[in-house]
Structure 1
Amino acid sequence: MIKAYWRYFLYILNHKINVLVECWIEGLYIQGVIHDCSKFLPSEFFPYAKKFYSGKPLDLDEELNWKYAWLHHQRTNKHHWEYWVINPNTKEALAMPKKYVIEMVCDWRSFSRKWGRKVKETTLNLTDQIVVHPETKRELDLMTSSSSNG
C-alpha cells in the first residue's frame, strides 16, 4: 500500500500545481495555493489512494469509506458545485461566489492540462450536467465559452 499512497501523493501535488497555474492566471493566488488541501486529510487521502492506486477492488467497507471521503471533499471545498446544492431533487442551489466559480473552472482546466496540456472544450462544457443556481450557470457559460474560444 505504501506505493499506492506515494503515487496518490504525487498525483495530488501534480493536480495542485496545475490548479495553481490556472488560478494564478486568474489572480486567485491564495485559492491556488490552498486548493484541495482536504485531500491530505486521512479521511480523504487513504480511501482515495486505495480506490485509485491500489490496483485492487475495494471491499464493501473500503467502498463506503471512499464514498464518505468523496462526500467530505465536496462538502468541504467551496469550489465544488455540490457544496452549494440545497436540494438535488428540485435542482435548488445557492449562487456560488464568483471566486469559487473561477476556481471550479480552474480545477476543470487542470484536468484538461493533465491529459494533454491544452484545455479541451468538452472538459469545460459541463454546465448542463450539474446543479447550479441560474446566476452561477450564467457565469459558467460566460467563462467556458470564452475559454473555448480563446
Structure 2
Amino acid sequence: MKYCFRIGLYKQGLLHDLSKYSPTEFLVGCRYYQGTRSPNNAEREDIGVSTSWLHHKGRNKHHFEHWVDYSIDGEHVIMGAQMPRKYVAEMVVDRISASRNYLGDAYDDSQPLDYFLKSKEKLWFIHPQTKKELEALLRILNDHGEEKLLHYIKYRYLKGETRKIKY
C-alpha cells in the first residue's frame, strides 16, 4: 500500500492483495508460513500445486500470470497479453516489498532484479513488452535506487513516457 500511494496508485494501494484474506489463501498462508519465502512454494512442494497461488493470481492483476490467455494467432497455444502500465508499476513495487519482507536486513536494491533475471529465460508466457518494461524498471532500481525509480514511475512511466530518464 505504501509504495502504491507513493507512485499515485491510491485505489490499487487500498485494494492490493485483498484476496489474501479469503479462506482459500489465508488458511494456506497460516499452514505453510515460514517467514523467509512464500507459503505458496511450500504448499506446491507438499501437494504438487498451490491452490492459494491459482486463486491469488486470478484475482490480482499485478501478477503477469493473470494475463495469460489462449492465443488466436495460430502460432501459440497460450500467450501473455500485454499488461497495462499501472499493473506493471504495481508489480514492481510488490516485488520490492516481497524482497524486503523475505530478506529483511539483507535486502538491497539489486535483489528484485537478480530474482527476475534468474527466471527471465523461462518466462515464455509473459508478453515481450511487459517483460521488457519490468526489466527496465528493475534496472533503474538496481542502478539508481528506490527513490529515483519511484520518481520515474510516478512522473514518467505512468504518464506514458518511454524516453530514458537521465540521473
TM-score normalized with structure 2 length: 0.63
CA distance in 2, matches of 1:132, 1:95: 8
CA distance in 2, matches of 1:38, 1:63: 21
Check whether the contact 1:85–1:132 (CA below 8 A) recurs between aligned residues.
Answer: yes
Check whether the contact 2:4–2:90 (CA below 8 A) recurs between aligned residues.
Answer: yes
Q: Tell me how many residue pairs correspond in the alignment.
A: 124
Runs of 4+ in 1 over 2 A off after TM superposition: 112-120
Structure 1 unaligned blocks of 5 or more: 1-19
**Aligned counterpart, 2:20:** 39
1:90 is displaced (CA, Å) by 5.8
**Aligned counterpart, 1:143:** 137
Deviation digits for residues 34-78 of structure 1 (CA, Å, limit 9, x no counterpart):
11000001111112211226xxxx99xx847x7222101011111
Shift of the 124–29 alpha-carbon distance from structure 1 to 2, 3 Å rule, reads farther
Q: Where in structure 2 are the equivalents of 1:11-26 lying within 5 Å?
A: 20-26=1-7
Task: Give the aligned residue type for 2:51.
Answer: Y
CA distance in 2, matches of 1:124, 1:36: 22
Identity percentage over the alignment?
36
Secondary structure of the corresponding residue to residue 33 of structure 2? helix
Shift of the 113–84 alpha-carbon distance from structure 1 to 2, 3 Å rule, reads same
Q: Where in structure 2 are the equivalents of 1:84-123 lying within 5 Å?
A: 84-86=67-69, 92-114=79-101, 115-116=103-104, 118-123=107-112
CA distance in 2, matches of 1:42, 1:25: 30
CA distance in 2, matches of 1:143, 1:123: 10
Deviation digits for residues 71-130 of structure 1 (CA, Å, limit 9, x no counterpart):
01011111111111226x866200011111010111000022223465432323416143
1:69 to 44, 52, 59: 52
Check whether the contact 1:76–1:83 (CA below 8 A) recurs between aligned residues.
Answer: yes
Check whether the contact 2:113–2:135 (CA below 8 A) recurs between aligned residues.
Answer: no
CA distance in 1, matches of 2:104, 2:52: 28
RMSD of aligned alpha carbons = 2.8
**Aligned counterpart, 1:8:** none
TM-score normalized with structure 1 length: 0.70
Q: Which structure features the higher share of helix residues?
A: 1
Of residues 125-134 and 23-32 in structure 1, the stretch that sits farther from structure 2 once superposed is 125-134
**Aligned counterpart, 1:10:** none
Q: Where in structure 2 are the equivalents of 1:2-13 lying within 5 Å?
A: none
CA distance in 1, matches of 2:4, 2:108: 14
